[in-house]
Structure 1
């Protein structure tokens, strides 16, 4: 025991009452040195009972209580103390004491003996397993300090043994008597026998505590992951910055169970601060943009009500200066009231009510944007996981602030670029539409060109074929004179057609090119129309057609170009002759109209024939274009020439097809509108 006493270091915590309690203890009945009363109960039976307790008890605390009571009763001691050792620190140990019934009601002493006093009184402490290592002695020493400091009477004898599980110490069994006692070898041997069973119980306690810690850790991890996910969604939302920051500080402070949380942003007033050296206090104004607090923590009298009270200068707040002095590190104070530098913003932080402070800077590229502040009414030990969570929140908040500032800075530029882009897109759309129209026009022109070449080749080939045939027939020997005359007539007719076709093409080309103003002259409209219709009567009569003319009663003078006017009427009458049904009438009408100072002459040529569809009306005035199912001999340039001549005279031409009731035929009306030039406008 002397060797054991020398190897144990001194303990600072007391173990039992001072010496004035010794007299009262001596009055108690002294223990007789004897063996256990139930000597017949073997170690095997005792281990079986311990195993039954382990197997049948679900709660670890009740299990240790039952084992302590079983051992205390079996060894007939005054107290049995079981202490599980799960780590190096005493706050991780689980303690369970059992005391005999006669000691349960005694008051606890105010002071205890020191461990040195305990070890000096031999044989107070004995061990069931000898020899012991320094580690075993230290574990027993700590277990006595932890488990026996609140016993009702001073300790006079202790029999202790450390338990081992998987090669490591996991607990201590201490048998305690409040009277001097010499422990027998049989008691030591029996305690050694139950050590392994108690080690299993201690291992289950450690395992249950580990599971509880892991569950708490997982629960906190889930809460923290949920918080990070919530903050990520907030940063991606369309909320205004201050509104988002308010939700961030509320979620963070509530998740970490803080009493109060603040989000503070800085506005620098010194543009050269970024070029200054480190550990300098900048010229900046701090403003609270988010706050959350438990309702019971801050009274209304200490909470600032206005925005001015929630703003302050960094140079006036010692608390906010710490991150600049510590190069952007987090600042933790268990009690900030003990610091010499009382902040100028004391009413805002309510240091008297919430002295424990955690202040983490919001930093981006070496620049502190603000602070996240969490306050507690009592001292709090911040875990590493909690600090990591706060740093992650600060990183997200810093990114959100930078993004918001960047968006505000470029918003005007984006709007301008968007407006320019919109204008460019509209212009591109117009250009695209115009290009599409040009492409469509080119496609149609290409089709017209192909159709023109095809029709032109037909118009040129057909007369030439007839002329070639006539020439060959004239060269035949012995041809009759009358046949020679017939072939000569064919040659003359076909040659005339070719000449007329070429003349019409030249006329169209001349009219479609930049042309001179028409050579106007005054004509008698009634006389001119009558002369033209008389010339067509014979041609119309050959097809069984009649012509009727409706002219003004008074002769009308028209300022126009005579050659062009005659050609227009001739082509319209020729067209009516070709496409009119047999035994129908061709009607020609001329009227003079003055409407809103516009002097016009309107001439209508109407015939009866097949209807003209809306699709055909769109191209009926094009070169070599005819209505579907209408093929008659001719150049195919008549109506095209009419349109060009009308435009040359600054007039207009239109066609209209009106169906006749109870008939498959329609009235086809060509309306010619010519301006009536005055004498003063005559060139």
Structure 2
């Protein structure tokens, strides 16, 4: 006996009619049974065998291969096929066993195990089977058995279920017409729980492996960002830093080749405009190749340059609306574009290209290029990491250029310092200001990276610990439920963080037009307050609502308005003194000849200093000494939404009494009441 196995992507192929299925309930067999020579108690032998196979913890598909073998030998069929179904987006995992007489046989071009013109006779071992069961067996038959070296004439299948979901199919095959007995169907039905457990065990192992790979990749990305941060603080020359950076990036992301190029503009003041390609020279400043697994030391290559006008691939950064530029097929086969590229790209050897622009304040400083010899589908997580890396490289370049400018400035003024002490003092002051500004920028960058890495690392750490504990064989059901809840909670935190970041990005890009609706602000506010009463009470707080007696109609964007209320009240609930009251007041008044809706949220809490008030609405910035868990995005999102609605927001902190650390905190939002009065506020407002 022997076995065949393979993993084939799930197919959506339209199957032939099931008019030949002969699985009518209650049909009695007419011919003598030929299946098992020892039918007295086959279940007593088969079940322990399958239990031993499952308990053996075989690697991957081996467990399915062993189960297919013992089931096929017990039923004395020509072939036994097991198909694990992970889901719509996954790949079906198959394991086949064939009788000894079919081993060593291969398919020829004119042979197909499944003849669409002569579809095999199919039956389901389930007594009360449905059309969906038959359809599942048909699809699994096509996926798992289309490459078998024997014709398929008679099929007995059984879908398995785990947790109310169909997770696999067991298929018995004869290459000749055969009549399945009731005993065979009953025996196969008795095997369903065991096979379902085997399928679930294999699929769960795959999910765990995928999660481990994700955690390992996240760790590698964090190490890469730390390495780039260390490089940015080193005393190395800019070219040396960029060479080490491109090597680390290409190795971590498993690229075959990495290039780092900088642009030198003919017009230094040029800023990127849609469809306009500037006159510039592209200089290669860093290169890494898997062929040498090292930074290229060929000085001639590193000095190589070409004109931007001679490379349509690089020009696409300026003309295309989608970035990064990704090429996954031979350039000649892509229609609608001129893909002429500089020889340095070696497209004949490395046709798959990912080109990320290095952009600062609307100006393209250069390109980060990753190349592959084979097609590669870049994941969103990898593209997001690359965006962060490009931002860090831009910071390194700008810092280096700024320092170089400062050094040049100091050199030019040195001659003047010898003639005038006054000029010397002035130049010294300018230099100190530049150094201070650079330090502030560096501190802000470090603070951003620290906050961002914390928000990503802590949930992932909790998820990793929960997964590790779930591996414990002695874990109780209660603990298992608790760890699964931890996984769900931490995953939700990650998803909410990403959604908030995407919302902020959309608001910053002004890509979403306002969707005005005429609503009663009083009704919306009352309904919202009612929905959070329980949450407020659990925190030991009370909330009061102050509305004008008349209806307050306004033209606004409902979801944005609700989200502003949510973030302001979440902030008040989080930082209010225990046992205090939160007051929400909504009024209407005329400001500068325009009808406006005024929202005031008052609470008692720790005082906000003037320094904190300058950055409390910034992303990932939180007040000093505030240890309540949070992402630092709530007030930033509220401000962005207020500006999206052409309004303004401010905060005031008034001490309750002299020497008391508690203050009355008041957030005031001012929004235009009607659409025709919407005039954008400046950022200063």
TM-score range, shorter chain: 0.5 to 0.7
2:336 is equivalent to residue 335 of structure 1 = no
Q: Specify the SS of the correspondent of 1:352.
A: coil
**1:4 alignment partner in structure 2:** none
**2:442 alignment partner in structure 1:** none
2:322 is equivalent to residue 325 of structure 1 = no
Alignment of 1:69-108 (within 5 A): 69-89=69-89, 92-108=91-107
Q: How far off its partner does 1:273 sit?
A: 3.2
Does the 8 Å CA contact 1:328/1:368 hold for their aligned counterparts?
no
2:289 is equivalent to residue 293 of structure 1 = yes
Q: Which has the larger radius of gyration?
A: 1
2:50 is equivalent to residue 50 of structure 1 = yes
Q: CA, structure 1 residues 10+289, in 2 after alignment: closer, same or farther (shift >3 Å)? A: closer
Q: Can you list the C-alpha shifts for 1:647-666, whole angstroms capped at 9, x where unaligned?
A: xxxxxxxxxxxxxxxxxxxx
Alignment of 1:534-553 (within 5 A): none
TM-score of the two chains, using structure 1 as the length reference: 0.53
Does the 8 Å CA contact 1:269/1:283 hold for their aligned counterparts?
yes
Partners in 1 of 2:322 and 2:130 — Cα distance? 48
Partners in 2 of 1:408 and 1:45 — Cα distance? 81
Q: How far off its partner does 1:60 sit?
A: 3.8
More helix, by proportion? 1
**1:11 alignment partner in structure 2:** 13
Alignment of 1:218-617 (within 5 A): 218-271=215-268, 273-274=270-271, 277-295=273-291, 305=300, 310-327=304-321, 329-338=323-332, 339=334, 345-414=341-410
Partners in 2 of 1:198 and 1:306 — Cα distance? 59
Q: Can you list the C-alpha shifts for 1:538-580, whole angstroms capped at 9, x where unaligned?
A: xxxxxxxxxxxxxxxxxxxxxxxxxxxxxxxxxxxxxxxxxxx
Q: CA, structure 1 residues 240+177, in 2 after alignment: closer, same or farther (shift >3 Å)? A: same
Partners in 2 of 1:410 and 1:199 — Cα distance? 70
Partners in 2 of 1:168 and 1:224 — Cα distance? 36
Alignment of 1:140-289 (within 5 A): 140-271=137-268, 273-274=270-271, 277-289=273-285
Q: How far off its partner does 1:100 sit?
A: 0.9
Does the 8 Å CA contact 2:310/2:342 hold for their aligned counterparts?
no
Partners in 1 of 2:238 and 2:227 — Cα distance? 15
Q: Specify the SS of the correspondent of 2:61.
A: helix
Q: Can you list the C-alpha shifts for 1:188-245, whole angstroms capped at 9, x where unaligned?
A: 2211110111000111101111122122222222222211111111111121111100
Q: Specify the SS of the correspondent of 2:285.
A: strand
When the two chains are superposed, the root-mean-square deviation of aligned CA atoms in Å is 3.4
Partners in 2 of 1:285 and 1:134 — Cα distance? 66
Q: How far off its partner does 1:265 sit?
A: 0.8
TM-score of the two chains, using structure 2 as the length reference: 0.53
- 5+ residue gaps, structure 2, are 1-10, 17-30, 429-685
Q: Specify the SS of the correspondent of 1:87.
A: coil
Partners in 2 of 1:370 and 1:413 — Cα distance? 25
Q: Specify the SS of the correspondent of 1:40.
A: coil
Q: CA, structure 1 residues 273+378, in 2 after alignment: closer, same or farther (shift >3 Å)? A: same
Q: How far off its partner does 1:311 sit?
A: 1.1
Q: Specify the SS of the correspondent of 1:251.
A: helix
Does the 8 Å CA contact 1:332/1:359 hold for their aligned counterparts?
yes
Does the 8 Å CA contact 1:266/1:369 hold for their aligned counterparts?
yes
Q: Can you list the C-alpha shifts for 1:93-139, whole angstroms capped at 9, x where unaligned?
A: 22111111111122223245486727x546x2211125545654454
Partners in 2 of 1:307 and 1:56 — Cα distance? 56
Q: Specify the SS of the correspondent of 1:273.
A: coil
Q: How far off its partner does 1:370 sit?
A: 0.9
Q: CA, structure 1 residues 328+95, in 2 after alignment: closer, same or farther (shift >3 Å)? A: closer
Equivalences, count: 396
Partners in 2 of 1:421 and 1:141 — Cα distance? 91
Q: Specify the SS of the correspondent of 2:191.
A: helix
- 5+ residue gaps, structure 1, are 1-8, 15-30, 428-683
Does the 8 Å CA contact 1:108/1:150 hold for their aligned counterparts?
yes
Does the 8 Å CA contact 2:124/2:133 hold for their aligned counterparts?
no
Partners in 1 of 2:80 and 2:312 — Cα distance? 54
Partners in 2 of 1:121 and 1:327 — Cα distance? 50
Partners in 2 of 1:72 and 1:241 — Cα distance? 67
Partners in 1 of 2:185 and 2:153 — Cα distance? 17
